[in-house]
Amino acid sequence: MFALSLADAKVAGGLGLIECDEPPMCRLLPHDPSAKPAVTDPIISIQGLTKTYDSGFEALKGIDLDIREGEIFALLGPNGAGKTTLISIICGIVNPSAGRVSVGGHDIVRDYRKSRSMIGLVPQELATDAFETPLATCRYSRGLFGRKPDAAHIEKTLKQLSLWDKRDGMIMALSGGMKRRLMIAKALSHEPRVLFLDEPTAGVDVELRKDMWTLVEGLRRDGVTIILTTHYIEEAEAMADRVGVINHGDLILVEEKDTLMQKLGQKQMLLDLTEPLAAIPARFADLGLELADNGSRLIYTYDTRAERTGITSLLSDLRDEGIRFRDLTTKQSSLEEIFVSLVQEG
């Protein structure tokens, strides 16, 4: 089986567009499949959740969602879709208007101490006390969440995030990337079972983003359930087990990422022609072929779910027509393209 690693995929496809020579076998493998969690009871259960702000703005319109223990769930949506409101309600920062949420079986209102002690939150903004030290602020976070001091755990966390050397310096002296990592260290200080990452790589450079992905993968191996909101579709595509798309306060889709890409993804076959074509021959009019690159590239879009993709007959007809090509590649719709199409439909 031909498979691409994450690094290969990025090199090959930019935003996760994978091209390869054996279409049926091509797939993006963002992580080791053996690391995927078994289907278990949901660690987070959301039922009929609504939120209407005092201004009358309806941020959430009856969300139902289960998050499985140990999975990485990517919540996608445009600005103002309700992603942060949803996270804020689960974490206790915003009051829900109606509906129920439980974390680890504990209701977030009635049993807020138990539910919140299981959660770590990394907000979008870099909100830290500039005059504190990383070590002190992590100790503070651990204590705030009701955990007894554990110097070894704090040390391990800061070392994991490459902040141990900076532990006694002022936070204001840290770079933006270090501050972002510190936010994660703080969220992990009390050993949460669920970690919310709200736009964790917004505005960070490519290298740090890669580090963040590695870190998230490591956390998942440690059994932490991760809920991730992001604008970077490649991030969800690379890391997530499942994807949810939220728009205008409605959860319009929840699907296994791979299934989603298979189900909704259109595939294209790209033929680099030996001789450019001035126009597509009339006999191919019904196939929806497109010409690109001044007639030197022929594009055939087909549905992977169809019983017959039409590839074999197309190639045969091209040969009959005397149209020759020097290269053939295929590409599958990225999650971004799927997302844009879903949001536009919604």
Partner 1 sequence: MAMNLQGIWAIYRYEIQRTKRTALQSVVSPVVSTSLYFVVFGGAIGSRIPEIDGVPYGAFIVPGLLMLTLMMQSLSNASFAIYFPKFIGTIFEMLSAPVSFYEIVIGYVGAAATKTLLLGAIILLTAWCFVPLRIEHPVVMLLFLVLTAISFSLFGFLIGIWADNFEKLQVIPLLVVTPMVFLGGSFYSIDMLPEFWQTVSLFNPVLYLISGFRWSFYGIADVNVWISLGAIVVFLGLCLTATWWIFKTGYRIKK
Q: How far apart are CA 65 and CA 244, in angstroms?
A: 9
Pick from 21, 64, 129, 303 the residue near partner 1 by CB under 8 A: 129
> Does 109 interact with partner 1 (rule: CB under 8 A)?
no
Pick from 3, 12, 94, 253 the residue near partner 1 by CB under 8 A: 94
Q: How far apart are CA 184 and CA 121, in angstroms?
A: 8
Cα-based angle 122, 127, 132 (whole degrees, multiple of 5): 110
Nearest residue (CB) to partner 1, 94 versus 277: 94
Establish how many alpha carbons lie within 13 A of residue 316's alpha carbon, considering only the half-sphere containing its beta carbon: 4
Is residue 238 within 8 Å of residue 336, measured between CB atoms?
no
> Does 169 interact with partner 1 (rule: CB under 8 A)?
no
Taking the complex as a whole, the smallest distance from the CB of residue 121 to partner 1 amounts, in Å, to 5
Nearest residue (CB) to partner 1, 25 versus 170: 170
Taking the complex as a whole, the smallest distance from the CB of residue 129 to partner 1 amounts, in Å, to 6
# of chain residues touching partner 1 (CB under 8 A): 34
DSSP at 109: T
> Does 168 interact with partner 1 (rule: CB under 8 A)?
no
Is residue 72 within 8 Å of residue 240, measured between CB atoms?
yes
Task: From 64-72, 114-122, 205-213, 238-246, give the range in contact with partner 1 by CB under 8 A.
Answer: 114-122
For the stretch 170-192, what's the b/e string if a residue is b when 16 or more beta carbons lie within 10 angstroms of its beta carbon? ebeebeebbbbbbbbbbbbbbbb
Burial class of 210 by CB neighbour count within 10 A (0 to 12, 13 to 18, 19+): middle
Pick from 114, 153, 193, 231 the residue near partner 1 by CB under 8 A: 114
Question: Residues 43-72 vs partner 1: string with x where CB under 8 A?
Answer: ----------xx------------------
Pick from 11, 39, 144, 292 the residue near partner 1 by CB under 8 A: 144
Nearest residue (CB) to partner 1, 146 versus 276: 146
3 state SS of 119: strand
Question: For residue 228, which of 113, 86, 74, 336 has the smallest C-alpha distance?
Answer: 74
Ranges within 178-217 binding partner 1 (CB under 8 A): 186
Pick from 22, 34, 56, 125 the residue near partner 1 by CB under 8 A: 125
Which positions ≥6 away from 21 have C-beta within 8 Å? 2, 328, 329
Taking the complex as a whole, the smallest distance from the CB of residue 80 to partner 1 amounts, in Å, to 15
* Binding residues vs partner 1 (CB under 8 A): 53-54, 88, 91-95, 112-114, 116-117, 119, 121, 123, 125, 127-131, 136, 139-148, 186
